[in-house]
Structure 1
Amino acid sequence: MTAPFGAGTGPDRASALAELNERSREIFRQIVESYLATGEPVGSRNLSRIIPMTLSPASIRNVMADLEHAGLIYAPHTSAGRLPTESGLRFFVDAMLEIGDLGADEQGRMETELRAAAAGQSLEGTLTQATQMLSGLARSAGVVVTTKSNVRLKHIEFVRLDPRRALVVLVAEDGNVENRIVDLPAGLPVSALVEASNFLSARARGKTLTDLKSEFSHRRSDMERELDALTARLVDMGLAIAVGSSTDARQLIVRGQAHLLEDVTLGEELERVRLLFADLETQKDVIELLSRAEGGEGVRIYIGSENKLFSLSGSSMIAAPFHDGQQRIVGVVGVIGPTRLNYARIVPMVDYTARLVSILYEGR
């Protein structure tokens, strides 16, 4: 099946593309597929040998000139061969890419590996394993981004610092501990800190901060019955500051950068990988890009300078969101690599990994 992805093309280019006849499309397909397989430009003589129709090199050169005029291919340096432009790759991905399903055996291996890794691990550990698995399968860098507010809690406690301040101590199931400072209401007795700690901890185990906030908003009357006004206010303040400081604290996991150095020759390709490594070090920008994939269902593809992050390295990203048990999007999993990624193979891998991670989230 042909799968549409991403930003599409402008009206002028879309019109030009619509006018491509079967011969032009086949030649364009062969140029793109050759690039995705080898990274090398392909010339008219080689194309005449591999296209499933009888055309002379001269006829192919005429078609290539039309494709170049349409902005789909270009000649690197003085080479007689042609490579797809970023616009050409986008057109290929949107209109011509044939996406198949993963085989049952491969799906089974992926599920077995991830479920085995998830047994007894924290969600963060499971996400790390999912990233490592995807990186190995795609032979590129695997990436995951999620929010710390999705970490499941084991314990919440208030610890007084002085008469007007206290620490909110958050203990996660994976053993991580984070502290937040909260200002105390005037006249709050010490016993209120103990009472608020017991109230929150009794309800926190196995839940995320987002879960707790949602639960308390729907069961406000229960809290008001169990706690006095000052203690209830402390619970509200502690939860609000914990959720507020965690919601925007995005967590990025990157694995498998070494795969980006495979099959790299000296020169421009090595410089491109160096620039991509620099991109991956800029965690804020990577997180921002990945977070855009939360805007809709399914797999999203970003190619080269369509995003400013990859404007120099000329890289691509394939990403898909994953959900929790309430079908809320809680993160994104994906692959980052050169623009000649094997899109037909990697798209279903990313999609299936996102679905597996969602299932594991739902089971927590």
Structure 2
Amino acid sequence: MSTTQLAGQAVDVTGGWTPHIWLGAPAPGGLALPAAHPTMAWLYSPRGVFLDEECLVVADSGNHRVLIWHGVPEQDEQPADVVLGQPDGTTEGPAAGGRGPERGMHLPTGVLVHDGRLIVADAWHHRILVWDEVPRRSDQPPDLVLGQPDVSSAEPNRGAQCSACSMYWPYGVGIIDGWFYVADTGNRRVLGWADGIPDSPDVPADLVLGQPDPSSREENRGEQVGPASFRWPHDVTGTAGLLLVADAGNHRVVGWRPLPEADRDADLLLGQPDFQTASEFPYGPQRGDRFRFPYAASLDGSRLAVADTANNRVLLWDDLPTDGRPADAVLGQPSFEANGENRWSSVERDTLCWPYGLCLHGDRLAIADSGNNRVLIWRRA
């Protein structure tokens, strides 16, 4: 349990959250290193995770694959049941084995299961992969590819000018109120389809958020940061009537309520004092209301979790903060002021090193602890 000192007494800063399951590399000697060759149990720099009652899905990004556990894992280092993007559980490398993009992946990041469909952001192939059912056998090809004209293509923006059908490093995906969203990070925008996942890669997005038109792709719209721009929009989350975007490069999370149907200013801001500020908070003692490169956010009901990646911690709010108030809990650090990798010590069950992705589901929180080559599932009493 992480505690800090207040008036001479130890105070729990975790809000009752404790680490429960450790998946991936163990830590002999205090270091969690990946295996020399992949296995179905070990991970290398995982960047995305999804968790519900039916399955756990991990973007094992450094091994260029996605691992699936059917059911919630119940023991440490439990091997996955299914691997996608590789021919087997011991092969590594982007589009490995000379198979190309048809069955391979290149740095998959965002993962999501919605209405029984599996969605993967295959970031460095500049596309989204969709399976109509969560696969139960390994090396199963996707049923749909978005962002490219066909399954064999992998060029940024389809090898042409940026458009409402193309992508460049899409890192995050989300579905809110029937809208399908993609954090199209390399194009510094969020794409949205009002009718959900399109059935063809040639269906243009109904919404281009963060740019003045579908062909523009400059950081912060080529201007100073503002309420309608992104630097590195990396993840999307939300709930009924609310869209949140983790704008990592501007060290903030921004939100729209109600859902935007066209490009417009954000209504909600976390991590910065105002929409015109994008400064990185100094590296020294931190605060509970500022971020350094927040790469992921997850909202479940009114509870919000943010991966404050460069501060090696996760911040949690019991209710969505509409007033910029500090977080209610911090995971991975002994206090809101600390920010060291693994607390400048060895890897322990409650330490973090560059948490890159997370998924909040009820009283469980799955964290892709990328720098420690593992996924941690925390539980709240």
Give the TM-score category using the shorter length.
under 0.3
What's the TM-score once normalised by structure 1's chain length?
0.26
What's the TM-score once normalised by structure 2's chain length?
0.25
Q: Going by fraction, where is strand more abundant, 1 or 2?
A: 2
Higher RCO, 1 vs 2 (CA within 8 Å, ≥6 residues apart): 1
Q: Going by fraction, where is helix more abundant, 1 or 2?
A: 1
The structure number with the bigger radius of gyration is 1
